[in-house]
Structure 1
Amino acid sequence: MMRTRPLKVALLGCGVVGSEVARIMTTHADDLTARIGAPVELAGVAVRRPSKVREGIDPALITTDATALLKRGDIDVAIEVIGGIEPARTLITTAFEHGISVVSANKALLAQDGAALHAAAGQAGLDLYYEAAVAGAIPLIRPLRESLAGDKINRVMGIVNGTTNFILDKMDSTGAGYQEALDEATALGYAEADPTADVEGYDAAAKAAILAGIAFHTRVHLDDVYREGMTEVSAADFASAKRMGCTIKLLAILERAADGESVTARVHPAMIPLSHPLASVREAYNAVFVEAEAAGRLMFYGPGAGGAPTASAVLGDLVAVCRNKLAEATGPGESAYTQLPVSPMGDVVTRYHISLDVADKPGVLAQVATCFAEHGVSIDTVRQQGRPDGGGSEASLVVVTHRAPDASLSGTVEALRKLDTVRGVASIMRVEGE
C-alpha cells in the first residue's frame, strides 16, 4: 500500500552536492515515491548565504536557521552535506534528539566522531547512513557493511581521492612535475585553491578510518591512521617506477594482522606493479580493492567525487532510510565487537624503494649493504648510475628491498644518513600490490 503522507526531508547545506541532491529529488520525485512507497518532500534547505540564487529550489524553502528547521516537529530525515566538524556535529546530534534519521557525506566528522554519532543514533533508535562519505558514487560502504557481513575481510587497498590520482596520473603519462600537474588539476576544477587536504593525504586518511572500522568491525579513529602526503613525489620517482614495471599511486591500505589480533591503517604514496588492477585507474577516478576470505578479491571502481556522483550515493541512502522509516525499523549500525588494537606504522611489513645520492668511489656499495644488513633489511636489487646532471663526484644508488618492518627500514635510513659517503636520501617509496 502506498502511503500518501510524504516523508519530509531537511537538506543541511546546498553547495555542489546539496544542489544536486535537491535537483534529483525534484526531477525523480515519481520514481523515488515508487521505490520508497511514499512521497518524499524537500521541506527545508538550510544555507549560510540566503541571497544566492539556487535554480530549481523554491526560495520559500531556504533558511539560515538549521537548528529551527530540525526542531519544527515534522522532519523525518536530515541530509547533512555541510562538511567539516561544526556545526555539522551539533546539527546531527540535534536531529537525533528530535527523532530524525540522518544521511551524511561528512567523512571528516565520521572519522573523528563516528563512534559517538553511532551511539547517539542507536540510543534514539534511528539511522545514520553515510555511503557518500567515501568514494563518491561507488557503492562501497553498504557492500562492506551488508553484502560482506558474513565474510572476513583481511585487506582493503584503494585510491580514494580523485584529485591526487589525477595529479599522479598526469605525472606518469606526460612526465610533468608535481607543481605542473597540480596546476592543471586546479585549472580543471579537480583541486581546490588550497589543496592541502587532498595532496597531504588528510582526505584519504579520513576515508581510510571509516573503511577500516567497517571492514574489521573495530573502532578506528582518524588519529590511528598513518599518513604521508604526495608533494615530494618527483619525476625521478616515476622514472624509477617505470624501470621496475610500476607506477605510483596515493593509496589507503587497511590490513588485518596475520594472527588476526590487530589491524593497521595507512595512507601514503606507493609503487604498484602495472599488472595490478589499481595501476590502470586513470584521471580523477577512484577504485578500492577488497580481499575477503570467502569472496576472494573484489574491486569497486567509479567516480569518487563531484556533485552528481556524490548526490547519487546520498539519494541511495535516502531511499534506504525512508524505507526503514515506513517499516518502523533501522538499518545496520556500528559493528565494533572485535575491539582490535590499531598497530603503529613501525609494525607494517612491506618492500621499499630507496634512492640515495652517494660518493662515486669504491667501497660505497659495501658500506650501504652493511647498513641494511645490520638493521635486518634484506636487499633485493641494487642499481648504481652516474648523476644525470653530470656531477662526476657523486652517483645515484637505488636499492629495492625484500619485505621488512617499517621500523627496521626507518632505522636503516637514519643510519644511512650518518654515513660520510651518503650525500643524501633522495627518495623513500614503499612497494605494494605484489
Structure 2
Amino acid sequence: MHQPERSQDTPYFHQLNRLLTQHGEGTPHLIVDLDRLDANLATLCHSVSRDTALRLVAKSLPCIGLLSYLSERLGSQSFMTFHLPFLMQLIEHFPDSNLLLGKPLPARAVQRAYERMHQHTNAFSPEEQLHWLVDTPARLNQYLTIAQKFGTRIAVTIEIDIGLHRGGVTDQTTLDVMLTTIRNHPKFLRFTGFMGYDAHVGKLPRVVESTQASYQRSQHQYQTYINYTRSYFPELWADNLILNGAGSPTIELHKNSSVCNDLSVGSALVKPSHFDLPLLTDYQPASFIASPIIKQWSGMNLPGPEWISRLLQRLHPKHQQTFFIYGGLWRADLIDARLRHNSLYGESANQAILNGTSQLTLAPDDHIFWRPQESEAVFLQFGDVLAVRNGVLEARWPVLKH
C-alpha cells in the first residue's frame, strides 16, 4: 500500500527540484517518474491471465513516447482512443497497432478519418486494425453509408450498457437489429465484439450496493449479450472477438475474474489524485506538476487595508508566507499540506498566489509540486513531458496534438 506524499520537503522532491533547476526551462513542467511507472506496470501485470489483452488508453496517456514506453514493456500495441486527431497520430506512429474507439464518433468525424487515411502510405489496415464503436442502429447505418461511399469494410464493436447508463445497447431487441444489419452487409460491415464500461462500479454507497455486487451485476449483464450473440448469430461469433471492459477504477476487479478478454487501462499507471481509490492502493503516484516560484515574501500583502492581511496572518498559520508562481489554475492538488490557495486574492492562470507556513524553506526559482487530478486533460498543458528516472532526466516526450 502506498500513501501519497503530503510534503515536498523530502529527498525525493529535493532531487526533482535540483533536476529542474539544471535541466528545466524555468516554466511549469509535467513530470513522469519512470521508476514508479515501472512499479505500477508490474502491479498491473501481476496475476493478469495470459489470455487477457491489456489496452492502453491514449487519452489518459496522451504522449507518443509514454505510449511507446509502455507498449514495448507490455509487448502489445493495443490502444483505445477517443479523439479524431489522436487517432490519426496513433495510426502514423504505430502502423502495427490495434485501435479501438472508446466512444462513438459522429459520422462526419468518421468520414474525415477515411479521407485522411487514404493519404497515409504506411502499412496500417483500417479493415483489420481499426474498430469503430457503435451504440445505436441509426449510427450503424451511418457508418454503413460511409463504408459504401469509400468502398471499404468497417470493423464495428458494439457498445453495451452494463449499468453505467451513459449510452450503448440496453436490450436484446436493439442488439438483434444491429447484428442483423451487420450480417446482411458482410461486404461493408464486420462485427468485432463488444465494449462495456463499468465506471459506476464502486461508486454507489455500500448500503445501496457493495462494490462486489455491483461488479457481478455488470458482468452478468455483459454475459447476457455474449450468450445472445452466440445463440442467435453464430455466424458472426469468433474466438478472437474483442470483449473490452474495465478501466483504471475497476481494473483490479477484472484481474481476478472477468468475462472480458480485453481490458483498458491508462490513468492507474500514472495515478493522478482522483485515482486514490481503495482498489488502486498498490499503485504509486507517478506524475507531478512542478511550477517555479517567481516571488516570495514573509506574511501577506493583500490589496486593501493592511490590517486585513495582518489579521489573517495571525489567525491562520498557512498565511505566514506568500508565493507567486509561474502559471496556475490547473486541475491539480498541492503536494504539500502546508500550502494553500489564496481565495481572497483571486485565482490566476498566469501568476497564481499561494500561502504557506513559516516552516517552508522555499525561495524564488525553487519549484512547488502538484499532483494532477487527472491525466487526460492536464498532461496536454505543459509541452513536453519530462521522463525522469532516479532523479535523472531520461527523455522529453512531446504530447499528442489536438
**TM, length-normalised to structure 2:** 0.26
**TM, length-normalised to structure 1:** 0.25
